[in-house]
Amino acid sequence: MNQNGDMIQSGIDKNTDKEEWTHAPDGRPASEQPRWRQDFPIDWRRDEYVARRELVKFIVLTSAAFAAGQVWVAIRRIFRLSSVAPAAMVIATVDELAVGGAKTFIYPEGGAARLLVRTGEASFVAYDQACTHLMCPVVPAFAQGKLHCPCHNGWFDLKTGAVLAGPPQRPLPKVFIEIRDGQVWATGIEERAS
């Protein structure tokens, strides 16, 4: 410790450059500093330097996390390309629903919940039941020709699944429907960009 000078040594040899020395925070000479500071002289400028360096290190860690997330998304694309299209399955009978009636079903097996709506004597539509905003289940508003998400007042067109109003940015994923021998079949899922 430097008892005579007006600086506190920063933990390195006193022959080093003056820039490597630091003042106490109150600017008084070392001999006038309280005992605890004389016993444990903290090099405040070095402390600040190390704090910034550690902050850089932490932000680089965040950068690594973002890169890992991007790679994860890209790897999911590979699995997606190699996955097969879901098989067709019966989800209802034609007589089961009156015009304007709706039914939820799971398609494909173990997959997401979908919503089937009968829009006419021989016409059905089916979409993902999860709103594309924050995954709340949508409900049919048949009289208005719309699907409604009550959570944040999102509205979709019943015939196309397109967004009409509210916070959703993307249309509802559509399920392909076919009528075969009085049965309603789900035959695939249409991916749609916003």
> Which positions touch another protein (CB under 8 A)?
12-13, 15-17, 19-20, 45-46, 48-49, 52-53, 55-57, 59-60, 62-64, 66-67, 69-71, 73-74, 76-77, 80, 132, 169-170, 191-194
Dig out the tokens for 89 from the structure: 């399955």
Smallest separation, CB 133 to another protein (Å) = 11
Is the CB of residue 105 less than 8 Å from the CB of residue 113? yes
Smallest separation, CB 21 to another protein (Å) = 9
Task: Name the DSSP class of 52.
Answer: H
Smallest separation, CB 148 to another protein (Å) = 21
Between 22 and 140, whose beta carbon lies closer to another protein?
22
Smallest separation, CB 52 to another protein (Å) = 5
Edge-to-edge order in the sheet of strand 154-157:
139-141, 146-149, 154-157, 163-165
Between 143 and 193, whose beta carbon lies closer to another protein?
193
Smallest separation, CB 172 to another protein (Å) = 12
In sequence order, the 6+-apart residues with CB closer than 8 A to the CB of 191 are 173
Between 103 and 192, whose beta carbon lies closer to another protein?
192
Between 9 and 119, whose beta carbon lies closer to another protein?
9
**Angstrom distance (rounded) from CA 155 to CA 163:** 6
Between 35 and 80, whose beta carbon lies closer to another protein?
80
Which CA distances in Å does 49 have to 53, 54, 55, 56, 114? Answer: 6, 9, 10, 11, 57
| Strand, coil or helix: 20 | helix
Q: Is 175 exposed, middle or buried (0-12, 13-18, 19+ CB in 10 A)?
A: buried
